[in-house]
A and B are shown apart, each in its own frame.
Chain A
């Protein structure tokens, strides 16, 4: 039953959940990449740049969780190894 897609898929889902936990969910960010809890307008540009990068974490985690689900489904469907 244990296959590479299953192991990798579970690992990706765990990593995505941890990224959400650490950096926030995609809906926590505004379009310019700033976290909703930030006061807009009075942040230095360097901090805004960092915030935009952090937003990518949440997007990356979404891709990771979708990939993980696909791999787990493939594993359950019987894809080997």
Chain B
């Protein structure tokens, strides 16, 4: 017996976020090379901040995608899943842009992390209601 599972909606957003992850990783390399080549031209703490953008991405996105896949597996309506996926993609783009541009706190960084947490919270509450 073969078990065939398809997650077309989660797959779409996983692909988009995968592309974003690759861009963020290359950005880390770019700033590290810049810091080595000409440290005077690089703002203090910038390479570390760029590295944290990618780090924060890897800490939150996998959980969001796992929750999305589990909701899709349990037959949650597509519009709800698309809403979660769009929210997660926009949140990660905003966080990356906000944290890259400004040190300390920026609007993009705040909205990005809060939107990511909102997506995970909504998906978690939905998963709990399906579980019980």
Contact = CB atoms under 8 A, between A and B. Distances in A.
Given A7-B129, A57-B110, A15 B105 contact: no
B118 interface: yes
Interface residues on A, range: 20 to 34
A15 B126 contact: no
Contact of B126 (A7, A53, A54, A56): A7
A15 B77 contact: no
Contact of B114 (A6, A8, A10, A15): A15
Interface in B75-123: 77, 80, 104-105, 107, 110, 114, 117-118, 121-122
Contact of B117 (A15, A49, A50, A56): A15
B122 A8 contact: yes
B125 interface: yes
A-side binding surface: helix, strand, loop or mixed?
helix
A11 B77 contact: no
B-side binding surface: helix, strand, loop or mixed?
helix
A11 B121 contact: yes
Nearest to B80: A4
Contact of A10 (B77, B105, B110, B125): B125
Interface of A: 2, 4, 6-8, 10-12, 14-15, 18-19, 46, 49-50, 53-54, 56-57, 60, 81
